[in-house]
Amino acid sequence: MDVRNRQLAKPAGPTVLKAKKLVDVESDRNPKVSDVLPMPLYLTNVTFFTLFFSVVYFLLTRWREKIRTSTPLHVLTFSEISALFALLASFIYLLGFFGIDFVQSLILRPSADVWAADDDEMVEILKDDSRKVPCGAALDCSIPPPKVVDQVPVTVSVSIPVPAFEMTEEDEEIVKSVVAGATPSYSLESKLGDCRRAAAIRREALQRTTGKSLAGLPLEGFDYDSILGQCCEMPVGYVQIPVGIAGPLLLDGREYSVPMATTEGCLVASTNRGCKAIHLSGGAGSVLMRDGMTRAPVVRFSTARRAAELKFFLEDTANFETLAMVFNRSSRFARLQSIKCAVAGKNLYMRFCCSTGDAMGMNMISKGVQNVLDFLQNDFPDMDVLGISGNFCSDKKPAAVNWIEGRGKSVVCEATIKGDVVRKVLKTNVEALVELNMLKNLTGSAMAGALGGFNAHASNIVSAVYIATGQDPAQNVESSHCITMMEPVNDGKDLHISVTMPSIEVGTVGGGTQLASQAACLNLLGVKGANREEPGSNSRMLATIVSGAVLAGELSLMSALAAGQLVKSHMKYNRSSKDVSAVASS
């Protein structure tokens, strides 16, 4: 078994978590003397041990000899001087190897594991912890889960390499034809009428043409019919991403177990710690301030005057009703809210905004916009439609228009974290957090010229929840726009934290949300599919959950950073006897 395999074979658990956390958070770990030696560790240790005890023996013998011959002790021979140097060197090495870790373990113990609360310290606070149920059982049962009628069975992903696809002679002929280029790879589904078989044949052809094995990429265990014409073309398998659960997140009086699909170690653990701090402090509250997807086509005229004329026409409230009627024909869920225009010379950008029910809404709004463009051709026949999307929307690109005007759901989420919880769960203090937030998330981001990036790592949580729940991960760009604010409240004892996220683009129908695994994650949150009683409320609730999870993530990472700073200050100024929290806030 090689070294890599041995590492992989190690059981995952707190040890692994802690090791990774230390690399991330404390990347400047203390090097040991042995790190710089070229010999294997055990040989180095044996050498220094032998050296140490030999010189001790030698020096003691010489000492006895000097006493016997009445030679003064300070008169040293060359061999005695060498022995003293060897003693000192081996002592330093042994202290560096065995001693420093012990000393550090005493000094660093309070923040040795930034993600977990100290058990002793937590005893008292846990008395108030009402989250004694496991995550899965923590959902509010008073709200019935959506009926699982024709739900596709949840995919069980396989983690071992899939055995080679057993092909019939006919399959073999098709593979050869694809390899030779006689049969286009993209046409396999329509030709065979069997999506799984098409994927298997395409995969085999790909392996042969590239000469590369796809052994680690599973083929079986996935419903290829479910993605046809919707989610992915020319499939050859699927990538497995582990889903972890953070929570329960106590938000607006309900508990949510938040699924996060990620391969970033510590992310779920950290968010979970944030959820714990929120829960112990009485929960978070969210407000959805706005809900409207946008699409902005670009059209051109022969003069800037004509472009401006269309702008005035579209923004004239007298015309809104007609335009809305035309727009809303696209879907029973699409409802036009506004049209904002921007002129660039002869070109006009019209930013349509509409509600889209439980769908994220890009398809829906595009259809509505197309209806309006067709309608406008009657009064503006000289209008040249250059593109249904002119980037003033703005989709999947960082843009001030989304940050300022919002796109999708605009949500603000807040919580007041008790000072005790900040100290015992987050292992820092209110003052340090507020100061770090001001210098990092506000000033630091301003210095960097950030656009919506006034946060610590909102995109980490947004991406993980998006992937788990079948959202478009590319929309993480603007969905992660977030400003994190922190203030001391209640005479500085407690912490008020908020995240304001103007562009959360989520849906619970359409796109990847109907796939089995993603639908299961939405089901866990109680927001799967369309809400029949109140269309749009599932996607709105999902947006608030995203903001709540981001709040938890911000709280935890900022605390880890603040605590790391404490340790550094502590080490730098050698104030081992002082309260570390006092060092950081000074």
If the CB atoms of residues 333 and 349 are measured against ligand ADP, the closer one turns out to be: 333
DSSP H or E segment with residue 471? none
Amino acid at 183: T
Identify whether 248 is preceded by a cis peptide bond (ω within 30 of 0): yes
Which position among 279, 418, 457, 570 bears the catalytic label? 570
Kindly state the DSSP code that residue 281 receives in the 8-state scheme: T
If the CB atoms of residues 200 and 364 are measured against ligand ADP, the closer one turns out to be: 364
If the CB atoms of residues 45 and 363 are measured against ligand ADP, the closer one turns out to be: 363
If the CB atoms of residues 170 and 534 are measured against ligand ADP, the closer one turns out to be: 534
If the CB atoms of residues 274 and 510 are measured against ligand ADP, the closer one turns out to be: 510
Compute the distance between CA of residue 582 and CA of residue 572 in angstroms, rounded to an integer. Answer: 14
134-142, 156-164, 355-363, 384-392 -> range binding ligand ADP (CB under 6 A): 355-363
14-22, 212-220, 357-365, 381-389 -> range binding ligand ADP (CB under 6 A): 357-365
Q: Which of residues 325-344 bind ligand ADP (CB under 6 A)?
A: 331, 333
Rg of the chain over Cα atoms, rounded to whole angstroms, equals 32
Minimum Å gap between C-beta 263 and ligand ADP is 26
What are the tokens at 373?
A: 């463009």
Please give the span between the terminal C-alpha atoms of the chain, in angstroms, as a whole number.
Answer: 52
Q: DSSP string spanning 77-141?
A: -HHHHHHHHHHHHHHHHHIIIIIHHHHHHHHSGGGSSTTS--HHHHHHHHTT----S-GGGGS-T
Among 337, 363, 370, 391, binds ligand ADP (CB under 6 A): 363
141-149, 358-366, 447-455, 488-496 -> range binding ligand ADP (CB under 6 A): 358-366
User: Chain-centre distance of CA 28, in angstroms?
Assistant: 24
Q: Is the CB of residue 315 less than 8 Å from the CB of residue 341?
A: yes
What are the tokens at 152?
A: 């596709």
Minimum Å gap between C-beta 403 and ligand ADP is 22
Give catalytic status of residue 166 as yes or no.
Answer: no
158-166, 169-177, 350-358, 491-499 -> range binding ligand ADP (CB under 6 A): 350-358
The site map against ligand ADP for 478-517 (x = CB under 6 A) is -----------------------------x-xxx------
Give catalytic status of residue 472 as yes or no.
Answer: yes
Q: Which of residues 89-148 bind ligand ADP (CB under 6 A)?
A: none
The answer to whether 357 contacts ligand ADP (rule: CB under 6 A) is yes
The answer to whether 569 contacts ligand ADP (rule: CB under 6 A) is no
If the CB atoms of residues 407 and 457 are measured against ligand ADP, the closer one turns out to be: 407
The answer to whether 444 contacts ligand ADP (rule: CB under 6 A) is no
Minimum Å gap between C-beta 408 and ligand ADP is 10
Compute the distance between CA of residue 177 and CA of residue 281 in angstroms, rounded to an integer. Answer: 64
Residue 221, φ and ψ in degrees, nearest 5: 85, 20
Minimum Å gap between C-beta 511 and ligand ADP is 5
Residue 129, φ and ψ in degrees, nearest 5: -75, 110
The answer to whether 364 contacts ligand ADP (rule: CB under 6 A) is yes
Which position among 264, 315, 414, 435 bears the catalytic label? 264
Compute the distance between CA of residue 438 and CA of residue 446 in angstroms, rounded to an integer. Answer: 10
Minimum Å gap between C-beta 537 and ligand ADP is 9
Q: Is the CB of residue 108 less than 8 Å from the CB of residue 26?
A: no
Nearest to 140 by CA among 256, 218, 244, 284: 256
If the CB atoms of residues 356 and 437 are measured against ligand ADP, the closer one turns out to be: 356
48-55: long-range contacts, CB 8 A cutoff, minimum separation 24: 48/90, 48/93, 48/94, 48/97, 49/90, 49/94, 51/86, 51/89, 51/90, 52/87, 52/90, 52/91, 52/94, 55/83, 55/84, 55/86, 55/87, 55/90
Q: Is the CB of residue 552 less than 8 Å from the CB of residue 274?
A: yes
Q: Is the CB of residue 34 less than 8 Å from the CB of residue 93?
A: yes
Among 247, 361, 502, 512, binds ligand ADP (CB under 6 A): 361
Minimum Å gap between C-beta 260 and ligand ADP is 22
Among 189, 204, 255, 358, binds ligand ADP (CB under 6 A): 358
Kindly state the DSSP code that residue 443 receives in the 8-state scheme: I
Q: Please give the residue whose beta carbon sits closest to ligand ADP in the complex.
A: 357
If the CB atoms of residues 96 and 535 are measured against ligand ADP, the closer one turns out to be: 535
Number of residues that bind ligand ADP (CB under 6 A): 18
Among 362, 411, 425, 524, binds ligand ADP (CB under 6 A): 362
If the CB atoms of residues 429 and 475 are measured against ligand ADP, the closer one turns out to be: 475
If the CB atoms of residues 262 and 331 are measured against ligand ADP, the closer one turns out to be: 331
The label of the residue with tokens 């373990």 reads 105
352-360, 478-486, 488-496, 518-526 -> range binding ligand ADP (CB under 6 A): 352-360
Q: Is the CB of residue 484 less than 8 Å from the CB of residue 554?
A: yes
Compute the distance between CA of residue 244 and CA of residue 262 in angstroms, rounded to an integer. Answer: 8
Compute the distance between CA of residue 294 and CA of residue 351 in angstroms, rounded to an integer. Answer: 6
If the CB atoms of residues 362 and 434 are measured against ligand ADP, the closer one turns out to be: 362
| β-strand pairing of 408-417 with 243-251 | unpaired
The answer to whether 473 contacts ligand ADP (rule: CB under 6 A) is no
Total H helices, total E strands in the chain:
22, 11
Residue 79, φ and ψ in degrees, nearest 5: -65, -35
The label of the residue with tokens 């866990």 reads 524
Nearest to 430 by CA among 269, 570, 278, 555: 555
Compute the distance between CA of residue 538 and CA of residue 527 in angstroms, rounded to an integer. Answer: 5
Give catalytic status of residue 264 as yes or no.
Answer: yes
Which position among 346, 396, 440, 496 bears the catalytic label? 396
Cβ atoms within 10 Å, residue 312? 10
Which position among 395, 405, 431, 472 bears the catalytic label? 472
What are the tokens at 433?
A: 């957090």
Q: Which of residues 527-546 bind ligand ADP (CB under 6 A)?
A: 530-531, 535
Minimum Å gap between C-beta 326 and ligand ADP is 18
Among 360, 458, 462, 497, binds ligand ADP (CB under 6 A): 360
Q: Which residues are catalytic?
A: 264, 396, 472, 570
Chain positions contacting ligand ADP, by CB under 6 A: 331, 333, 356-364, 507, 509-511, 530-531, 535
